[in-house]
Amino acid sequence: MPILACIGLSLIVYFLLMGNIKDMYINDAKKVQCGKCSKKVDATYTFCPNCKEQLKEPCNHCNNIIDINWRYCPYCGNTKGNR
Ligand SMILES: [Zn+2]
Ligand SMILES: [Zn+2]
């Protein structure tokens, strides 16, 4: 019986650790780097909370919010520029 308890405990620790690692990975994947101050900011932000640099803008064709660094709109294929 103590062996079973040991295995159970290890499994719990294992899953807790794996959960943390997965969370860290997911959090990191959601971050983008601000082009102005190089700070990592949440990918959903429209403005950098550190220097107020604009990170996203609405596509001038379909109005979906897209990353300011993208050259083409992924929603409608419109080429950015001429602004
Ligand atoms: Zn910034
Ligand atoms: Zn578009």
21 lies in which domain range?
2-67
Say how many Å lie between the CA of residue 71 and the centre of ligand 2: 11
Say how many Å lie between the CA of residue 31 and the centre of ligand 2: 23
Residue 20 lies in a domain: yes
Residue 78 lies in a domain: no
Which sign, positive or negative, has the C-alpha torsion 66, 34, 40, 52? negative
Residue 16 lies in a domain: yes
Residue 77 lies in a domain: no
Per-residue pLDDT, 26: 64
Kindly indicate the confidence band of residue 81, based on its pLDDT and cuts at 50, 70 and 90: low
Per-residue pLDDT, 52: 95
Q: What is the pLDDT of residues 11-44, one digit of tens each?
A: 888 888 887 777 776 666 688 889 899 999 998 8
Record the pTM. 0.55
Count how many domains the chain has: 1
Residue 46 lies in a domain: yes
Residue 61 lies in a domain: yes
Q: In this structure, which amino acid lies at residue 78? A: N
Residue 62 lies in a domain: yes
Residue 73 lies in a domain: no
Write the secondary structure of 4-65 as one string of H (helix), E (strand) and C (coil). Answer: HHHHHHHHHHHHHHHHHHHHHHHHHHCEEECCCCCCEEECCCCECCCCCCECEEECCCCCCE
